[in-house]
Chain A
Amino acid sequence: MKKHVFIIGGGVAGAEAASQLVKMGFDVTLAEKETQIGGKLNQWDRLFPSKRKAAEVLDFINKNLVDSKARVLFNTEISKISKQNGGYKIYAGIEECTADAILISTGYDVFNARIKEEYGYGIYENVITSVDLEEMFRNGNKIFNSNKEEPKRIGFVHCVGSRDEKVGNHYCSQVCCVTAVKQAMEVKEILPRAEVYCFYMDLRMFGLQFEDLYRESQEKWGVNFIRGRVSEAAENIDGTILIKVEDTLAGRPLKMKVDLLVLMVGFVPSAGTTEIGKMLNLDLTPENFLKPADEHLDTSSTNLKGVFIAGTCKSPKTIADTFADARAATLKIKEFLEGSEK
């Protein structure tokens, strides 16, 4: 009889793992709480570094998943998981399934920018997040401020909810720096006459071609980078945003008026990740992501036998890394299931 793998979360990691596991010859059920596959990828317009359309990647995942004929439960949340005969019993929505292994791919949430109240998200209309900006890009590349005017000056605030002990997140979310550079260039593409400023602590351009993007953004597009953390934002009567920041390279405080302020929100473990972690009593990293069994040698297993993790429920990741991580997890699952047969 075929072994059964239950996957929780149908984002990039979950969907990719599902089709791979079917290919390996396992029975797969994928539970997704939304009505579509792809998770956060649905919210992005173009991906760094090549600016390929996110839709292309989505199509790839969807096609593979449909072709694999893996069973997909939409609109389904997990209410309970219990141990049964060496495997697990999962209460998914109205169904009860048994599984020999579980893969958790419940992903991340973006940091709730309202917590960083001094930036005025949710209070000032012209303060938006990087997610909101992607939505503008997807909705026909139109960027407007609240008065339906094209902004003349746009500021990007890096590290919102990342590397910020004040909000309890001291880790780096990895992808926001390069996303800001990508978005700044895209804004310049759409609004060539607009001034664009990025306020950063340092730029962590860790991937191949990221450094080139950073260079291109300055040389070709004239994006301005100011090293300093924005301390607060205030709203002027005309709706523009007055920001206070210290230019730490020039060593002087700065006040600047912008028409639109974009907050580069970081990664936090998703509500689903936290919930499943609690449900199964999984070990957590100090940052409250799910903790792998071994940081170097086995990043797919957990402290619970037969429960595996993949994707951004473990740590912030790029799309490429998420794919690689999902495939690594499928190998680990295969090893576990076939090993248990002997």
Chain B
Amino acid sequence: MSDASFDSNLNKAGQPQDAGFSHFFALLKPRVMSLVVFTALVGLLAAPVSVHPIVGFTAILFIAIGGGASGALNMWWDADIDRIMKRTKGRPIPAGLITEGEALGFGVALSGISVVMLGLATNLVAAGLLAFTIFFYVVIYSMWLKRWTPQNIVIGGAAGAFPPMIGWAAATGSVSIESVLMFALIFMWTPPHFWALALFMKSDYDEAGVPMLTSTHGRRVTRNHILVYTILLVPVSFALAFTSIGGPAYLIAAVLLNALFLRGAWRIWRRDEVAADADGYATEKTVFKHSLYYLFGLFVAILIDAALRSYDLLGAGPFGIWGL
């Protein structure tokens, strides 16, 4: 066997194939970054302190880059299992386009740049939260929890919940009940969202040695977990309505979206695998789609209330809550 057969970093002509700009961009997990950008932007815009547009743009940009950097470090650490799973085989490292060392250097450099730039552009609280988010995602989730416990997605979900808190801190320089509740909303939303996906996605996590609830405890337990976490999510989402960033738009959205999500979780709980198999996991797929609408809808509602508030269309009542 020739050396070339070991080296997947060769093109069809047998010449070395260098990673292009787009391959490094793919290391940043752009789809995950879009959620980071959106929720961080809502946190920044909903905050009671306005920021200069360029400062705000810089803050969102470097929060996104920090999130992307943690994605690159995750791909560096998980390169061994990414080579095994079909879904991840095409990523730049398993595809042989970027070496593990390059991904590590890229991730570390971008982590440092993003934290320093966010600190310079806004404040140390926001920078510290971003640094902690990167640490949490890479060390706590990727290195420790992911391969150790089937509850990995529950605790690991915290990493995806930090961006609105960072956006809020970028504007206010502090952490408050509003930003903690935005964090809690995404934190509680992640498990039912992800487990609904896990029920209908035939994944090869087992081969990769990653414990997922569907395989370690079975699909019945996963269905129970989806219902319980959705029930726990409801009070968290309603609590936000009665803070300074809540308002009528958010309350209406919370009523409708929680009803929709709860109904879906209930339907998932009532079904068994035979019924799910029979209709091609139609309910699970619908609930997964609705879970995306749920989070997007609630955060858009926060923005709508922030816009109403900025035009003085919401009065401040005796409790400091929107006209109550």
Bound together: no
